[in-house]
Amino acid sequence: MKLVSWNVNGLRACCEKGFRESFAALNADAVCLQETKLQAGQIDLQFDGYESFWNYADKKGYSGTAIFTRVKPLSVTYGLGIDLHDHEGRVITAEYDDFYLVTAYVPNSQDELRRLDYRMQWDRDLLAYLKGLEQRKPVLLCGDLNVAHREIDLKNPKSNRRNAGFTDEERAGFQSMMDAGFVDTFRHFYPDQEGIYSWWSYRFRAREKNAGWRIDYFVASEALRPRLVSACIHTEIYGSDHCPVEVEIR
C-alpha cells in the first residue's frame, strides 16, 4: 500500500500549480493533505476510484486536512476528541483492516514562540491519542509535524536554534514519540541522509539553494516496522512550499 502526505499550503492555489497532475503521477492508494485552507463547498475536487474525507477549521482560510483513499476505511473520525484542539481541522483518522492512518497538521509555535506552550500540550495530547489507538491496532501517523527532529533535518541548525520548529521543547516532543515506540520511517531507511528536506521558505530563493527543513513525516508503530517497504521525499514535485512525502507498506 502506497501512502502519500502533502502540505499543499492552500489547495485551491495548489490546484493552479499542477496539483491534479501531481496527484495522478504519485498514483498512491491514499493521499493525505494538510493546510487545505478550505471550507465545505469551496472546491469540487474528485478523482476516479477515490473517496475523500475533509476536516475544516472553524476559521475561514486556515488549516484544514483531507484524505483521498482508494481503500474504503472501516471508519473515519475527526479531531483528537479534545475541544481545545478540535476547532482547527487538524486531524483525520481513517481505520483500515490492520492499522489506523492518522493525518495531522501540527500547530506552529509561531513568531516569538507565542504558541509554544499550546504546542507542547498538543504534542502530549496527540501522543496519548496515538497510544490509545495503538491498543486496538498499529498506527501510521503522517503530516506536517512542524518540527525538525535532528540537526541533519534542516540546512542551518545553528542559526535556527530556538526558532519555531527547532526548539529543544519541540524536538523533545518528537523524541517522546520515538521513545514511546514509534518509528520515523524515512530515518528507518536513511538514518544519516543529509540534504533531503520537505519544506523551504518562499523567501531568499530557499528552495533553489536547498535551504530547507524536513518537517513532514510518516511515523509508524513499531509493529509496522517489518512491513515497511520504502520511504521517499518527492523533492521534484512543486506546487507548494512543501513537497509530498511517501511510504510504502506491505
Give the CB-side neighbour count of residue 248, counting CA atoms within 13 A. Answer: 9
- Nearest of 133, 109, 131, 105 to residue 121 by alpha carbon: 109
- Nearest of 168, 165, 176, 81 to residue 123 by alpha carbon: 176
d(CA 183, CA 236): 25
Our answer to whether residue 168 is catalytic in this structure is no
Collapsing DSSP states into helix, strand and coil, what is residue 247? strand
Whether residue 206 contacts residue 131, with contact meaning beta carbons closer than 8 Å, is answered with no
Our answer to whether residue 105 is catalytic in this structure is yes
Q: Of 56, 96, 129, 144, which one is the catalytic site residue?
A: 144
Whether residue 7 contacts residue 34, with contact meaning beta carbons closer than 8 Å, is answered with yes
H/E element holding 200? strand 199-200
Q: Of 105, 129, 197, 217, which one is the catalytic site residue?
A: 105
Give me the active site residues, please.
Answer: 105, 144
